[in-house]
Amino acid sequence: QLNQKHMINLVLFGKPGAGKGTQAEFLKEKYNLKHISTGDVFRFNIKNGTDLGTLAKSYIDKGDLVPDEVTIKMLQEEVEKNPDADGFIFDGFPRTAAQAEALDNFLESKDMKINATIALEANDEVLLERLLERGKVSGRSDDQDIAKIRNRFDEYNVKTTPVKEFYESQDKFYTVDGIGTLAEITERLTKVIEDLE
């Protein structure tokens, strides 16, 4: 049964291309956590042609956020699919203040909580370059052109920035320099995690 006693639940935060997914892969091994990437779940549904995928695609292709009700429900289902997890890494969620509140309420109902939200920081020019580079090989529809990537940054600035304040007000917000080698960044994240109570 899920409960907070020995759990560690982290939110990996940051703009598109900040390295959330990349670092989550290392951290999930190190701390034996279940990694939930809402972007990955949407892409899985798009690939499999589900109703959720069809709906999500219409937003993702433009670089817009998928509506909160849909995303929140999906996230809750992903958590409930993993009742034996030692903890979770939430990657790409929450992305709006409403999602952050819904996550808090949902976790509280399960006697769980977020221990820390860690933001990976990098400037837009670095991020843009990373995403355009990845778009060449991954075929991700939202990495293909500069206008879509800029729209994702705009969505972040308008809708996601309030999430930072949400966690700051709970003293759970940490920032890490997201530029450097993958190992250096993992080390920075690890330091934040090990320093948590």
Among 30, 73, 81, 134, which one carries the catalytic annotation? Answer: 134
Q: From the centroid of its chain, how far is CA 73?
A: 15
For the window 20-59, what string marks contact with ligand AP5 as x by the rule CB under 6 A?
A: xxx---------------xx--x----------------x
Judged by CB under 6 A, how many residues of this single chain contact ligand AP5? 30
Does 17 carry a binding-site annotation? yes
Spatial CA neighbour of 77 closest among 93, 54, 61: 93
* Structure tokens that stand for 168 in this block: 């700051």
152 annotated active-site: yes
User: How far apart are alpha carbons 46 and 154 in whole angstroms?
Assistant: 24
Among 9, 14, 36, 174, binds ligand AP5 (CB under 6 A): 14
Among 81, 134, 136, 150, binds ligand AP5 (CB under 6 A): 134
8 Å CB contact between 15 and 153: yes
Residues 168-187 that bind ligand AP5 (CB under 6 A): 180, 182, 185
8 Å CB contact between 167 and 100: yes
Residues 91-120 that bind ligand AP5 (CB under 6 A): 92-93, 95, 99
Task: Kindly list the residues in this chain that would bind ligand AP5 in the complex (CB under 6 A).
Answer: 14, 16-22, 38-39, 42, 59-60, 63-66, 71, 92-93, 95, 99, 130-131, 134, 142, 152, 180, 182, 185
